[in-house]
Structure 1
């Protein structure tokens, strides 16, 4: 996973916990960001490596580039929150990770969350009044947090991009790259 030195290079944070990350929800958007000439940075509460999964089976590991304590939303142009059940469940209990997500949402920069990742958005109290999607089991959590849950492949609401599952990765990645290339505000409010 190489980095580009293009003058229009954006730096995208991928925030994950130590384990439980759905591998394709990290690696596919990561590779798309890199292939588009941008820099991807893996951020986690602790240094070392993180354990990805293919559903419930252990998959690859990946080295953490920066810890949550060493970064701020100002360091990046966008944030990606991969899913997996255990990953966002752990992130939502880490106050610094939740604060980083809240800062990203307040900044107006693109925040892209897939599958179970909106749990962290719920914990950060940033879904109120927003239209979003997720893995179906999060519907009640999102509605209880004041969000409007819809069953669609990809939903863009201002700077927030959400998708339901790995099958939705093409739509998720397209919306993410559009927001990175043209700015989160340019993506408007659309559904796919």
Structure 2
């Protein structure tokens, strides 16, 4: 069980991310000492839906789940909708889930979990308009600020960021170390 300060966390995002759902958890992870890598379809600056801009550290097709301890999926309507059409992004989600590494998805981020067929039999939450998709993919959907089911934590919206980030960090710290520091 490594402390968060010895963990490598991958964030997948592209243009149209919800500013606070990427930036705030990322900041909290970095402040706690985690090594955080932001991967996007292209290694360039990406834009949030409210005007934030951040440079991607890597291309999605250049990262591997084996090189990270955990995965975080921020929301925003455009961001996960674009990412779920990128086979490498969906493949990364599948790889993290298959390896039972911690995965966190907030707001519309669970759309990637649906695309990866990773919610069947799970208890999850998400933005209200995503909940039907989650149910149709075989999940039990609840309305709580942070829902932990095994290696997965999901949340509903930006107001849930403190609970979401706390639950995500706790999952990472409880997981067996998977990447040498």
TM interval, short-chain normalised: over 0.9
SS of 2:16's equivalent?
Answer: strand
**What's the counterpart of residue 44 of structure 1?**
40
2: CA distance, partners of 1:143 / 1:8 = 35
CA deviations on 1:9-55 (whole Å, 9 max, x unpaired) are 211001012x110011011110111111111110112121110123x
**What's the counterpart of residue 175 of structure 1?**
167
* 1:75 aligned residue (56, 59, 67): 67
1: CA distance, partners of 2:160 / 2:52 = 21
**What's the counterpart of residue 12 of structure 2?**
15
Quickly say closer, same or farther: Cα 1:35–1:119, change in 2 above 3 A. same
Give the TM-score of the pair, scaled to structure 1: 0.87
2: CA distance, partners of 1:75 / 1:53 = 29
Give the TM-score of the pair, scaled to structure 2: 0.93
2: CA distance, partners of 1:8 / 1:27 = 18
**What's the counterpart of residue 105 of structure 1?**
97
Q: Displacement of 1:7 after TM fit?
A: 10
User: Are 1:134 and 2:163 matched, yes or no?
Assistant: no
CA deviations on 1:103-129 (whole Å, 9 max, x unpaired) are 011111100000001111100111100
* 1:118 aligned residue (110, 113, 132): 110
Quickly say closer, same or farther: Cα 1:167–1:141, change in 2 above 3 A. same
User: Are 1:27 and 2:23 matched, yes or no?
Assistant: yes
User: Are 1:86 and 2:83 matched, yes or no?
Assistant: no
SS of 1:41's equivalent?
Answer: strand
Q: Gapped runs of 5+ residues in structure 2?
A: 177-181
Number of equivalenced pairs: 174
Structure 1 ranges of 4+ moved more than 2 A: none
2: CA distance, partners of 1:7 / 1:141 = 32
Q: Displacement of 1:79 after TM fit?
A: 0.4
Q: Which has the higher strand share?
A: 1
**What's the counterpart of residue 179 of structure 2?**
none
User: Are 1:161 and 2:153 matched, yes or no?
Assistant: yes
Which structure's relative contact order is higher, taking Cα pairs within 8 Å and 6+ residues apart?
Answer: 2
CA deviations on 1:128-184 (whole Å, 9 max, x unpaired) are 000000001111101110011111111000001000000001100100111122228
